[in-house]
Amino acid sequence: MISQTKNFISEVKVELAKASWPWEPKEKGVKKYKELIDSTLIVVIAMLLLSGYVAGWDFIMNLIMAFLFKAPATPAS
């Protein structure tokens, strides 16, 4: 059991060494995470735009449905 755990941990270390991380390991401070910060900002902006688009269509559809279903009925003669 212990040898399997050690083998697993060594395999994980090998695979993590192969991974491409979203920061430059040679940079110091905030510059190290520039790509990560830029990617995060793009995702946040995209989510805000998408949520605004969905909210806008929801508002328009609510107005249309309110107009269609709250219209006064014409009397039958």
Q: What are phi and psi of 58, to 5 degrees?
A: -65, -45
Give the 3-state secondary structure of 21-33: CCCCCCCCHHHHH
Q: What's the pTM value of the predicted model, to 2 decimals?
A: 0.57
pLDDT at 74: 56
Q: For residues 54 and 48, give the distance between their C-alpha atoms in angstroms, rounded to a whole number.
A: 10
Q: How far apart are CA 24 and CA 37, in angstroms?
A: 12
**pLDDT tens across 24-69, in order?**
777 787 777 888 889 999 999 999 999 999 999 999 888 888 888 8
Task: State the Cα–Cα distance between residues 72 and 22, nearest whole angstrom.
Answer: 60
Listed by start position, the domains of the chain span 23-69
Under the banding of pLDDT at 50, 70 and 90, the label for residue 75 is low
Query: How does residue 15 score in pLDDT terms, banded at 50, 70 and 90?
Result: very high
**More confident: 10 or 30:** 10
